[in-house]
Structure 1
């Protein structure tokens, strides 16, 4: 591998990575468009849980506009030819997509736990107006971290190769290490810990729940499936990406001239983007588990609008 005084020169990525990335992105885009259509056009009333699920679907769509640019970037041998502005747009949308998903998944877990653990008590997590304000705050937070990320990690040249968010950017190794450590800690480990805590505490509560009645059994199964699905998405989709990126950041900072290892880990990191993109596909299962109204929307065109509205209104309380 070629070395410079600053970094290892970038290498082309396997053809399978951009192809699979575009395929997963396309499938996820279709599913998210369908989910957003159901939320906006087929549900006559929204609960607090529906608001969270809608925002999760919205965050899932953010990476779609820049996926073709990333694919072309890989196909051109890791040469970013689209300029500084589109590089910043790519970073902003990708980071908001990944960490918006983790935050909203965590809020869904907390909401589900609150709905069951404090079933007979008032809670702000069951208040739709509060949840809407909370989601607005999350989007402001995502905007702030995107702006910081864009300006801390700008487009640079490595040799004659323009780079955008690449571990070949040796001059940015300190900045990338710090921001990746912060995102790994607060954007992944903390949300994962909160979701896992909600799951185990909810499991303990549900063991004492009366499941002899259909309603009690339904609440138990629905709640367990929802939070379990959140944990599956964390573990399957986001764990590989966050771990490999943190390893790459450490290698770039402390072992910058081990080019073979840096390139292998960076390829693994880009491959983990494909796996992380699967969360867009898995989230549709989460909406089906979490909302009776969403499930009823599939055959809803067979019902009259009046019947659908009456059923939706009668189940809003149960769905939270």
Structure 2
């Protein structure tokens, strides 16, 4: 069956309702977990370390995609017909993209922060300075806002056949925009953060093999840092890899093989399904806070009126390396 129009445009097809249903379930669960995490950060922890600031920003970025999930469900339920207008379409794309790539950036910064604290614990570093971390996080949010503005110009909703499409590979008039933005996102938004996080992990792993005369408590802190970065890498692999692979495959097909509509439709369905998998990072990141931050873990089970007392930051303990 050839689902193309006379002009050669691949006409959109309706997506199975299991996609929006699962998406809503995953994002709703992620919203509850991250809302609880944000409450812990804001109400149960009286003092924040530099690492806590990064974790708070990660939780905040994870919550960005939740408000637009019901709109996506309506979009699929109406047969891929977007009824909310161009502005809401671009807001939807901007929030989802900022959630995915904001999470990737903050996961990378958490990994780098742990790397500096473990491998270069005896050297002064701006990554240990709360004032610098606040400015760094502000810079990331400004970058995400600027990145979101690109979508207002490059990827609006358009009419395809009899329906209005929003972030659909059937929008043939936006092929060049999809290709350019997709190449930037997969390289700068995924491969670069993944490479940095992987490098931090192996640097810490190598440092642990050279430990000498280290206390049990300090070794525990170092191993916790290694596990935390390992968790970041797992989130990259499970959550963000499928989305980047399917989108890259889709933009290559629509750019160079637009006549293969059946391939476009299959890859687009896989891409929408990968949003569900990517949304799992909202559920996995709170696990990262619990097992990676002693202050967060101490505040978690305590529901007394008094907030948890600040403790020495995990990354401020300085065991002897070498």
The TM-score normalised by the length of structure 2 is: 0.95
Q: Would you say how many aligned residue pairs link Structure 1 and Structure 2?
A: 315
Q: Is the partner of 1:157 in helix, strand or coil? A: strand
Structure 1 match to 2:291: 289
Structure 1 match to 2:3: 2
Structure 1 match to 2:187: 185
- Bigger CA drift: 283-292 or 38-47? 283-292
Show structure 1 runs of 5+ residues with no match. none
Please state if 1:80 is matched with 2:82.
yes
Give the Cα separation in 2 of the matches to 1:231 and 1:31: 20
Please state if 1:41 is matched with 2:43.
yes
Give the Cα separation in 2 of the matches to 1:301 and 1:211: 39
> Aligned match of 1:243 in 235, 240, 245?
245
> Aligned match of 1:11 in 13, 17, 20?
13
* Displacement after TM superposition at 1:150 (Å): 2.4
Structure 2 match to 1:99: 101
Give the Cα separation in 2 of the matches to 1:41 and 1:73: 37
* Displacement after TM superposition at 1:316 (Å): 3.3
Q: Is the 8 A contact 1:211 1:217 kept in 2?
A: no
Structure 2 match to 1:160: 162
Give the Cα separation in 2 of the matches to 1:222 and 1:127: 21
Please state if 1:316 is matched with 2:313.
yes
Given the superposition, is the C-alpha separation of residues 69 and 239 from structure 1 closer, same or farther in structure 2, using an over 3 Å criterion?
Answer: same
Give the Cα separation in 1 of the matches to 2:315 and 2:20: 43
By percentage of residues, which structure has more helix? 1
- Pairing 1:1-320 to 2, within 5 Å after superposition: 1-4=2-5, 5-210=7-212, 213-302=215-304, 305=306, 308-309=308-309, 312=310, 314-316=311-313, 318=315
State the Cα deviation string for residues 215-239 of structure 1 (Å, max 9, x = none).
1321232011100000000000000
Q: Is the 8 A contact 1:112 1:223 kept in 2?
A: yes
Given the superposition, is the C-alpha separation of residues 214 and 55 from structure 1 closer, same or farther in structure 2, using an over 3 Å criterion?
Answer: same
* Displacement after TM superposition at 1:211 (Å): 7.5
State the Cα deviation string for residues 68-125 of structure 1 (Å, max 9, x = none).
0011111111111111111011011011111100000000000000011111221000
Q: Is the partner of 1:162 in helix, strand or coil? A: strand
The TM-score normalised by the length of structure 1 is: 0.95
* Displacement after TM superposition at 1:289 (Å): 2.2
Give the Cα separation in 2 of the matches to 1:85 and 1:194: 35
Give the Cα separation in 2 of the matches to 1:210 and 1:305: 40
Give the Cα separation in 2 of the matches to 1:256 and 1:29: 37
Show structure 2 runs of 5+ residues with no match. 318-322
Give the Cα separation in 2 of the matches to 1:216 and 1:63: 38
